[in-house]
Structure formats: C-alpha cells, structure tokens
Chain A
Amino acid sequence: MSMEGIKSFEPAVKEAPASGSSRLEAVLKVIYESVSELNLQLPEGQRIEKSPAAVLFGAGGKLDSLALANFIVITEQKLDEYFGCRVDLTQDDPFSPTTGHFGTIRSLANYILKLPGIQDSPSRTD
C-alpha cells in the first residue's frame, strides 16, 4: 500500500471547521475505544497507539488483514452506538493499495467524518 493515499486524508482534519472539531473529537474517541478493544488481541509489540499519527495498515502499519478486518467491524459497531447510524467502512476497499483511509488514525477519522450519516446524525457524546 502506498503512503500517498494515506497522506491525502490528512489536510482535511487540519482544515476542519470549528463546528466540526467536536465531531472530530467524538470520532477520534470512537476510534480510540476501538483500538483499545483491538489491542486485547494483539501481542504487546503490535499494539496500536492512541494518537492521530498512529499507523494502522499498509506501509509501516502494524495490522495484518485479519486484525484490520476485526478493527473495521469493531469500529463500525461503535460508530453505530455513538452516532446511531450504520456505516460501511469497507465500501472503498480498505485492503487496496490505492485507497488510504486506514493508513493512520488521523486519515481514518477524516474518512469517517465525510461518510453520509456521520455528518448529520446527532452524536450521543454531544
């Protein structure tokens, strides 16, 4: 997987409007909770840090395809719990080298923020 795709998501987070920053925080919170849950099944050296820059999948990433699939399912479930909407994190093939939204936690957050449903739905953390 190329890092190009991953980087393409980063500016959007930085440029997120003030009204969206609390939504970004909510999405990051969901991702971090998912990371905590995923880490229970990972050996110590492969556990994911809870920081926006943490690399998930692809070049330099710690997750193999099974761990990524588990992470996707956990995150989808938690997004449903927090935002009350079902999202499909596999619609833009997450395993493909040309897509990069699972490159880092930051790129994933940015990707999730753009998904239909997340933008409009009231977060239970708001």
Chain B
Amino acid sequence: MKLHLISDFNLETLGHYLENDGSSPKLSVVAAPFGQVFPALLQPSQSSPSDFALVWTSPEKMVPAFAAALDNTAFGEDGVVAEVQQFADRLRAAQKHFRAIFVVSWTLSPHYRGNGILSLKAGGLRQVLLKMNLTLAQELDDCRGIYLLDGQRWMEEVGKSSYSPKLWYLTKTPFHGNVFRQAAGDLRAAISAVLGTSKKLVVVDLDNTLWDGVVGDLGWESLRLGGHDYLGEAFVDFQKALKSLRNRGILLAIASKNEESVALEALNKHPEMVLRPDDFSAWRINWNDKAANIAELATELNLGLESIVFLDDNPVERARVREALPEVYVPEWPDDKTLFASNLRALNCFDSAYVTAEDTSRHQMYATHKQREQLRQRVSSAEDWILSLETEIVVEELSNANCARVVQLLNKTNQMNLTTRRLAEAELRAWVRQKNRTLWAFRVKDKFGDSGLTGILSLEIESDGALITDFVLSCRVMGRNVEHSMLAFAAQHCTALRLRELRADYVPTAKNKPCFSFWMSSGFAYDEKENRFTWPLTRPYPSPDGITIRQPEAMEGDAVRSSEPVLLDAQTASLKAITN
C-alpha cells in the first residue's frame, strides 16, 4: 500500500516512523520533493487510484495573505478566505488520483504570540488561523475522499517542544519527532478507517474494570461506583466513555470471571451503573478461560477476532488473551484507575470514515438479532424460522443517499464477499457509470427490526450473459435466505434482458469461505478449474418463500448510473417489472 507525502517542508521523519512502526498494512512511502505541493497533488508520479496521500502544509506558504498577517503588513480577511478556497479546489481536483487524501489542519508555533491580547480579535493572528481551518473544513465537508486531520491535537500532546527551531534550521523539518509519532498513529487510524478495518467490539472485564471492587465478595451495594468519591466518579466516567462508543456503533460485550447471576444483579440494580445489561450485545460471565470466552463472543456476534479490543485491569488476563488470541487488540491498561476513561478516549482504533445510520443503530440490530435467534430455538425447523421472520427486502440502485453505506459495506465485509473487491467512493461511482454495469443495494428488515442496508450485488453484462462482480452480505443477515433472494432478483433482471447465463467468479481469501459454502449450496453449477459458478437463465432461479422484495418509489433522480441510455432503460424497466 502506497502513501504519498506531500508537503512544503521536510516530512522524511514521518515517512520513517510509518515505514518502521511494524504495523499492518505495510506502507510504502513516497515523499514528493518538498515545496512541490501542487505538482505532486495534481500530477503525482508513480501513483495509482488505490494510493493514499497526506498533505501537510505551512499556513503562511499556502496562504500568502496569512504570511502578510504574520509580517504585520496589510492583508484582507476576504483574501485569506479566497486563498483557502483555492487550496480546497486543488485538493478536490487531486481527489481522482488517490483513494483518499488526508490533509493536516494548519497550526502555528506557540512561539508566535501575535499581538497578544488582540490575537483572537478580528484580524488577529489566531482568529485568522481559526477562520482558515474552519473554511478549509467546510470546503472539504462534502468530499468523502478527503479528510482533515487535527494537527493541533498532535502539538498539544507533545507540548512546548512540538516545534523545533533547531530541526528547522538543520533539516527544514519544523517539528520534533514526537509530533510525527502522533501524526503516524492518527494516519494509521485514518487509513484503517478508510479500509474499514477499525475495531467493532470492546470486550470488558467487570470487577476492578467497570467498577471498583469484587462484586462476588462485596455484593453490588458495596461496590465503589459513583457517589461523592473520586474513584467512584472515575468508574462512572469510564462507563460513560464506553457508552459513548456504543452510541457510535461500537458493540460492547463482557468477559468476566464471576457468577453470572451476581454480576447481572449488579448491572441491573446498582443505582449509579451507567451500563445496563441491554447495553451489551453479549456476555460470557463464568469461570472459564477468558480467551475461550472471547472466541465464543466473536462467533456469537459474527465478528472476526481482529475486530475486537479487550480491556481488563488484570495484567495476567491481558497477557493470556494476547498469547492465545494475537489478533485481538489488548491495550496496556494503567494501574491508576482515574486514567481508565482518558485512556479509552485516547484509543485510536475505532475511527470510521463514515458514520451511517447502520452504525448508530448497530447495537439495536444486534439486540433484535438475539431475539431472532431465540425464536430460531423455539421453532421446529430452519425453514419455519425463516418464514416466521416475515422478511422484507428493498432493492435500491446506487445513489447519493446510500453511497457512503455501500462503500463502507463493500470495504468492511469479509465473510460473505465473492471477490473482496475494495473501492473508494469515487472508484465505485466511476465503475457504476461504465456501460453495462449495474449495482443494487439491498435493505433488509423483518418483524424484529430493520437491519439496514446489508447487501450489495453488482454485475457487468457481457456478450451473452452477466458476470456478478460483487456479491456482499453483512453477517447480520446471513443464513436468512437473503442470499438466495439477491440471486433470484439478479437472475430475473438478466432474464428480462434476454441474457442466457448468470456467472460468478469466486476469489478466495483467508476469510470468505462462508461465501464459497453458500455458492456451493446455491444451485449454481461450479467449475472448480475456473472457480466459476453459472446458472442457465433458461430456468428461473427459485425465489425463497416468505420474503418480499420491493423497490422504493423515489429513487429516480438520485441514482448513480451509466450515461448509456438504451440498456439502462431496459434495466430500470426490468427492475420495476421484477419488484412490482
């Protein structure tokens, strides 16, 4: 994976940190000659659209009016804003060259006092800088492939030594190495966010992690949690920080060595408990090995171990989980309990490139999943269970409204993913706009709740048939015949276009065996040599019973599609015919 460093100062040190931090994915850093910001942005050498770029510039070099402000010569604030807008225009123009561009917000050395008490007044140095950053942020708000990184936070982390005049004069590097370490950490988190590899689940211990004390010994009434007590307040704050993650779509689970009834009583009854049992998507409260419990939680929640963060006050338990499950991220945890909340808030493994409706309601979706599973255990057969769910699928074309979620799903899904094709939003839009290509997004709901946009099927029409390019389904709705419904929908579409065959080429990865298993049971013929599945369209593909498919009415104006009118009109007509 390649990262282009584009700057008007020497960024080599940042490149060295990124190349030598031992993190995954391995980054190959290409440093553009410093000072060549716009040529490197607009005509990058050795670049491909899958590359990332970091743009880190000095405010006085990018915005000449700000340089005038630094020199206390006449400048107009309108001129400052106009120059920032020009900079944003160039970033937008460069977007097509990169998968994502990260732009560092402008900062100013603390050595600049400006005009002291007037610095934050109109025309003051700090107010102008705030305005520049705000303008830049607003200009880039609607660019999903460009992200502003908060450089000021790195300076604050490092403190007064963040700017180094000595390094500047020796090497044209303005910042201390520690600033670049901070930047490297945030940049890694940003890349993970874009790649969809950020963490999705926090598994927490209970005693001395969620509250102070051992509930089995003390009883829930005597735990230190809340009250007029510094430690009690610290634990309440830590629980609030966890709840805030939950509200962002990060799932919570418990792995604790305790009697389940005793621990749940504490969670239910303690008056100052912030997190209640409903806030956790699953738990394993027993005396078993925690690593085994975490592996079970991953299976229950259909998540990979690499999606999990484990928090425990006990270093022995942390070491055990690290040793047994190296994919699970187990951060070192402070002995000082007043630092739990701030440590959690500082973790940079939860970043997300988009916040979608599916993210914020993820916890609720897992709760309804649990209800579904309970029903599954009550009914006599899997078929009866699926019928009883009353599933409804809504099929949408790619649109401005659903594009962020489609890109997120495409880039995050590992298990039910035919080809594991990863694309940035601009790449996906460009792909869909090509002749003879179609993409549908599938929203799934049932009587227990709405699972949101959870499926993608895209295909490319070839001479006598169609090739399924993407077949992606969230693990949340796997095994409920949604897979078959998607294929039935695609087959009907292709039949309406008088095509003869529907094909799918399986690209194996370390994680998409469930997808292969589904296709092997799909009824499609399998050619082992080509890893290709085919269905002759002379036969209708069977639609599963009990599942309704429909298309929303207000889709037309917003859809992203090819400019080739003839075939697409036929496609739209077929879509309507199928869903009506």
Contact = CB atoms under 8 A, between A and B. Distances in A.
Interface of A: 37-38, 40-44, 65-66, 69-70, 72-74, 76-77, 90
Interface in B10-26: 10, 12-13, 16-17, 19-21
Contact of A69 (B16, B17, B19, B171): B171
B161 interface: yes
Nearest to A44: B20
Contacts of B576: none
Nearest to B16: A41
B20 A72 contact: no
B177 interface: yes
A77 B13 contact: no
Contact of B20 (A37, A42, A76, A77): A42
A41 B17 contact: yes
A66 to B, nearest CB: 5
Contact of A40 (B12, B17, B164): B17
B166 interface: yes
A66 B19 CA distance: 16
Nearest to A37: B177
A38 B167 CA distance: 14
B170 interface: yes
A76 B167 CA distance: 12
Nearest to B180: A41
B167 A70 contact: yes
A74 B177 CA distance: 8
B181 interface: yes
9 contacts: A40-B21, A41-B16, A43-B16, A66-B12, A66-B171, A70-B13, A73-B164, A73-B167, A73-B176
B185 to A, nearest CB: 12
A40 B20 contact: yes
Contacts of A40: 17, 20-21, 177, 181
Contacts of B166: 69, 72-73, 76, 90
B57 interface: no
Given A66-B13, A70-B177, A41 B170 contact: no
Contacts of B173: 66, 69-70
Nearest to B177: A70
Contacts of A73: 164, 166-167, 176-177
Contacts of B20: 40-44
Given A41-B13, A42-B16, A69 B170 contact: yes
A70 B175 CA distance: 10
Contacts of B13: 41, 66, 70
A69 B161 contact: no
Given A66-B13, A73-B176, A90 B170 contact: yes
A115 B176 CA distance: 23
Contacts of B170: 65, 69, 72, 90
A66 B180 CA distance: 14
Interface string B155-166: 000000100101
In the complex, the 5 A-B pairs of residues with the closest C-beta atoms, listed nearest first: A41-B16, A69-B170, A69-B171, A41-B17, A70-B177
Contacts of A43: 16, 19-20
Nearest to A77: B161
Contacts of A37: 177
Nearest to A70: B177
Nearest to A64: B12
A41 B18 CA distance: 8
B182 to A, nearest CB: 12
Contacts of B164: 73
A44 B21 CA distance: 10
Contacts of A77: 161, 176
A41 B173 CA distance: 15
A76 B166 CA distance: 11
A78 to B, nearest CB: 11
A31 to B, nearest CB: 16
Nearest to A90: B166
A41 B177 contact: yes
A37 B181 CA distance: 10
Nearest to A65: B171
B181 A69 contact: no
A72 B165 CA distance: 13
